[in-house]
Amino acid sequence: METKRTVVPAAEEILGGYFPVLDHGFVALIDYMGSDESIEQAARVSYGFGTRKTSQTRGLVRYLRRHRHTTPSEMVELKFHCAMPMFIARQWIRHRTASVNEYSGRYSLMPLLFYRPEYEDFAVQSESNRQGREGAPAARDVYAEAIRRWEEVRRLSGETYGWLVEEDVARELARIDLPLSTYTQWYWKIDLHNLFHFLSLRADPHAQWEIQEFARVMAGMLKRVAPLSYEAWLDYDFGGAHMSYGELAALRSLVEPGADVLRVRDGASLDFDQLKAHGLSKRESIELLEKLGPAERPDFELDLSRMRPPEEFQSRMQAAVPGDFE
């Protein structure tokens, strides 16, 4: 049947395809509403909307993003189906700007699938970041012992869950000792403006690595729905940097703006004491130097060879349900 709704061929190519994340997780783009053109249409509501060149749409989308005019981006929505470990879901749900419907352990049996980090992602606590880990893996003997202990806890937890269900104990009670490594899943619908905020935080290298993996895939899906908005987000938000009044004051002391050129002041330099005079703490000074350091422009292109049919994950989830109690 022919449709009158906005259709983006690149998004249609992946619609309903499932991309694996971590060991048992996935992300799928289930539906979308709108495109870059929808943002332009909303922004130009006072002027009408006709046929325009892509370059003109791009210019407006970038202007809106650059100047933080965000409401037109709310006209575009994406709906995802995701499966993730519960400890990631608890981080994820802090973004209270989406419509969410999560798998119910009160109604359905929980698949006994548990997340196990690979050795390369198993690290000790960071000395400088209280909520992060060091970059290098921990000792292999510690990893081996962690695996042994995790498997023991999960075996006992799974056996207890299965026994309680067999004894016809209410599912809402049988589930209470399943660990945070257990996988859950949900449908998650969000508008483009709030998705940008989610991705800016969760695809950032400072975020927990596991949730970064989900955010990268979602960013690749977004790129196919609204590529011009994705490009503007990379340039002005994710790959850009915001400057405070003090940071700008420090940088202004280094340059002399002319009519059409910036000139560096003779012998200009800034040390921490000078930055402090501009109101920057030592931590802020370090962050300013990091902002001005070299950085690669990221890209979140999807690898279509990894896309799988939904039946593959459905069968895996069903096989992990304890027994046949339905």
Q: Which tens digits make up the pLDDT trace of 147-191? A: 999 999 999 999 999 999 999 999 999 999 999 999 999 999 999
Which of the residues 202, 216, 306, 316 is marked catalytic? 202
d(CA 142, CA 137): 10
How far is the CA of 253 from the CAs of 248, 261, 266, in angstroms? Answer: 9, 15, 11
The CATH number covering residue 43 comes to 3.30.1360.170
Same domain, 254 and 311: no
In a domain, 125, yes or no: no
Same domain, 30 and 90: yes
Same domain, 100 and 197: yes
Same domain, 60 and 207: yes
d(CA 100, CA 93): 9
In a domain, 135, yes or no: no
Same domain, 274 and 190: no
How far is the CA of 220 from the CAs of 28, 224, 232, in angstroms? Answer: 11, 7, 14
d(CA 239, CA 36): 20
Residue 25 CB neighbour total at 10 angstroms: 23
In a domain, 78, yes or no: yes
d(CA 114, CA 85): 7
Q: SS3 breakdown of the chain: % helix, strand, coil, rounded to 5?
A: 45, 15, 40
Structure-derived torsion over alpha carbons of residues 97, 24, 302, 121, reported in degrees to the nearest 10:
90
Q: Read off the tokens for 142.
A: 């510690």
Same domain, 14 and 63: yes
pLDDT at 124: 92
Confidence of residue 78 (pLDDT cuts 50, 70, 90): very high
pLDDT tens-digit profile of 220-245?
999 999 999 999 999 999 999 889 99
More confident residue, 217 or 285: 217
Contacts of 246 (CB under 8 A, 6+ apart): 275, 278, 279, 280, 284
Same domain, 100 and 249: no
In a domain, 173, yes or no: no
Q: Where are the alpha helices (DSSP H) in 254-300?
A: 272-277, 282-292
Same domain, 47 and 109: yes
Q: Read off the tokens for 141.
A: 């003997």
pLDDT at 252: 87
Note whether 79 and 188 are within 8 A (CB).
Answer: yes
Q: Which domain holds residue 92?
A: 9-114+180-239+297-319
pLDDT at 326: 44
- 202 assigned to active site: yes
In a domain, 1, yes or no: no
d(CA 143, CA 159): 24
In a domain, 2, yes or no: no
pLDDT tens-digit profile of 36-74?
999 999 998 866 655 566 778 899 999 999 999 999 999
Domain total in the chain: 2
More confident residue, 269 or 281: 281
Same domain, 23 and 70: yes
Note whether 5 and 31 are within 8 A (CB).
Answer: no
Same domain, 305 and 283: no
d(CA 213, CA 207): 10
pLDDT at 74: 96
Poorest-pLDDT segment among 1-5, 29-33, 71-75, 321-325: 321-325
Same domain, 15 and 99: yes
Q: Which amino acid would we find at residue 5? A: R
d(CA 38, CA 225): 11
In a domain, 325, yes or no: no
In a domain, 174, yes or no: no
DSSP string, 111-131: P--B----GGG--PBPSS-TT
How far is the CA of 202 from the CAs of 40, 78, 90, 126, in angstroms? Answer: 27, 17, 13, 18
| pTM (predicted TM-score) | 0.91
d(CA 195, CA 209): 18
pLDDT tens-digit profile of 98-109?
999 999 999 999
Poorest-pLDDT segment among 134-138, 259-263, 301-305: 259-263
Same domain, 37 and 87: yes
d(CA 290, CA 256): 23
